[in-house]
Amino acid sequence: MAHVKLADMSKTYGPIMYLKLGARGLLVASTPQAAYTFFKTLDSNFSNRPSCAFGTHAMYNSQDMVFGKYGKQWMLLRKLSNLHMFCGKAIEDWTNVRRLELGHMLQAMYKSSTQGEPVVLTEMLGYAIANIISQVAMSKRVFVTKSTESDEFKDMIAEAMLLAGMFDIGDFVPSIAWMDLHGNIKRMKSLNNRFDPIFKRIVKERITTKHERKEKPDLLDALIDCMDNNPLADQGVELTETNIKALILDLFIAGGDTTSGSIEWALAEMMINPSILSRAQAEMDQQYAETLRKHPSVALNLRESIEPCELNGYYIPKGTRVSVNIWAIGRDPNVWENPLEFNPDRFLTEKNAAIDLSGGSGNNFELKPFGAGRRICPGERMGIVLLEYILGTPVHSFEWKVPDGEKLNMEETFGLAIRKSVPLAAIVTPCLPPSAYAVV
Ligand code: HEM
């Protein structure tokens, strides 16, 4: 896997490596100091994301937020999503949505426990998080009941996560991209062809039902409104239906597996360390910080320089890519004592107590699971709330055990987010009165 190989290479070649991959230059930063260089000192220059097959063919020619070039249109998309989805007030406004979705999830877990069936966490988390995102973004539950349409949507998101993390030779040797040697482009186009009619239908429906949400417009209402009343139109900045469809797709892809993967890793680590599980309720902050240190959902971020620049006396051409190896920094023995041990108490020591657990905003480059700088994850706050809330509720409500005779497999698998290669399945036993599991 790229992040593991690159971490190994940095032991020989140093904290900042310059690699030539096909026609592209790629810098890799592997220590907190090197991360500081790109997330802080040179952040404004490395604020683009490179063009890539996934952005072009799956994400509407990079007209979304994740792959969009740094500029006024990207700022407009970020501003609207912040206002309606990610800022503190929006997160508070959507408390009920989280409560309801968690209620559904707990009830499903309770049912599995009464039937003695293992809880397959990946699936339950996937539904709950996609429903939270879709309710906040467009006041709609995408997974109402288990149905063919729900399964189809879930398969599409899974395919998107897989394709987004896939290596494509054309991204590094653009002259042969057209050959589509891995067949990825064909799959990306076909994925976009499946998503597009769904989002088109949703946008159309919304325009006709807008008056129903007059009191509480959601993100999609705000985006649609901005098409006609765009504050930046006189500066030549467009916001089209394509941007809207692309942004909504971003939210499902960037917000789904990252959050549910982290929850799954946290529970798996706690099930291996039962004494930690029993202390977990009181110490949620340390639990998720330790999980994101050891298992950051995004191992390598990817940016691209807008202008040439100088770094440590070397000339770095315009268009050079940079990846900060967030995974390697989290496991660096020069930074963390016994880095492979899952030990949330490490955040109580004097040395680490100052580390800002909220990830992005602080000056501690030892722990940056959400990235940093201009392109920092806008969903940082939402991700943390979801982690605390979704992880905390089942931990508080059930005893968690590995099914008899099985051993937890902790291997990583490939994709946009690093997930467990074998989904977590557990036997759960309720530890609250039955009435606590009813959906209210
Ligand atoms: C545990 C949860 C999460 C983790 C660890 C995570 C991590 C990251 C990282 C490392 C980046 C790249 C930052 C950079 O280049 O410096 C990113 C970008 C992004 N994330 Fe997250 N994320 C999480 C949850 C979410 C959620 C819940 C959403 C939305 C619903 C979201 C939406 C995005 C978007 C739209 C971007 C691109 C931002 C831009 O390019 O301007 N993420 N995330």
The amino acid at 358? S
Name the one residue in this structure whose structure tokens are 């802080």.
40
* Any atom of ligand 1 within 6 Å of the Cβ of 29: no
CA gap 251, 256 in Å, rounded: 8
* Any atom of ligand 1 within 6 Å of the Cβ of 359: no
CA gap 121, 268 in Å, rounded: 10
pLDDT at residue number 147: 60
What backbone torsions phi and psi does residue 46 show, to the nearest 5 degrees? Answer: -95, 50
Q: How do 24-29 and 321-324 pair as beta strands?
A: parallel
The domain spans of the chain are: 2-437
pLDDT at residue number 358: 62
First to last CA, the chain: 44
* Any atom of ligand 1 within 6 Å of the Cβ of 247: no
pLDDT per residue as tens, the chain (440 positions): 889 999 999 999 999 999 998 888 999 999 999 999 999 999 999 999 999 999 999 999 999 999 999 999 999 999 999 999 999 888 888 888 888 888 888 888 888 888 888 888 888 888 889 899 999 998 888 777 556 666 777 788 888 888 888 888 899 898 998 999 989 999 999 999 999 998 898 888 888 888 887 778 889 999 999 988 888 888 889 999 999 999 999 998 888 888 888 888 988 998 888 888 877 755 777 888 888 899 998 999 999 999 999 999 999 999 999 999 999 999 999 999 999 999 988 888 877 777 776 655 667 888 999 999 999 999 888 888 888 888 888 888 888 888 888 888 888 886 777 888 888 888 889 888 777 777 66
CA gap 135, 227 in Å, rounded: 21
Residue nearest to atom 21 of ligand 1 (CA): 377
* Any atom of ligand 1 within 6 Å of the Cβ of 133: yes
The amino acid at 415? G
pLDDT at residue number 13: 96
DSSP summary character for residue 60: T
Residue nearest to atom 40 of ligand 1 (CA): 66
> What pairs with residue 81 in β-bridges?
none
Distances (CA, A) of 371 to 263, 300, 382: 19, 9, 15
CA gap 220, 166 in Å, rounded: 29
Name the nearest CA neighbour of 206 among 134, 139, 141.
139
What backbone torsions phi and psi does residue 308 show, to the nearest 5 degrees? Answer: -65, 155
Ligand 1 center from residue 432 Cα (angstroms): 35
* Any atom of ligand 1 within 6 Å of the Cβ of 65: yes
* Any atom of ligand 1 within 6 Å of the Cβ of 325: no
Residue nearest to atom 41 of ligand 1 (CA): 375
To the question of whether residue 309 is assigned a binding role by annotation, the answer is no
Q: Could you identify the atom of ligand 1 that is nearest to the CA of residue 64?
A: 35
Ligand 1 center from residue 55 Cα (angstroms): 15
* Any atom of ligand 1 within 6 Å of the Cβ of 15: no
Q: Residue 52 corresponds to which tokens in the numbers above?
A: 């890539």
Residue nearest to atom 27 of ligand 1 (CA): 255
- DSSP secondary structure string for all residues of 20-55: EETTEEEEEE-SHHHHHIIIIITTTTT-B----HII
Ligand 1 center from residue 224 Cα (angstroms): 23
pLDDT at residue number 124: 84
Ligand 1 center from residue 377 Cα (angstroms): 3
pLDDT at residue number 75: 95
* Any atom of ligand 1 within 6 Å of the Cβ of 280: no
CATH number of 2-437: 1.10.630.10
Residue nearest to atom 30 of ligand 1 (CA): 255
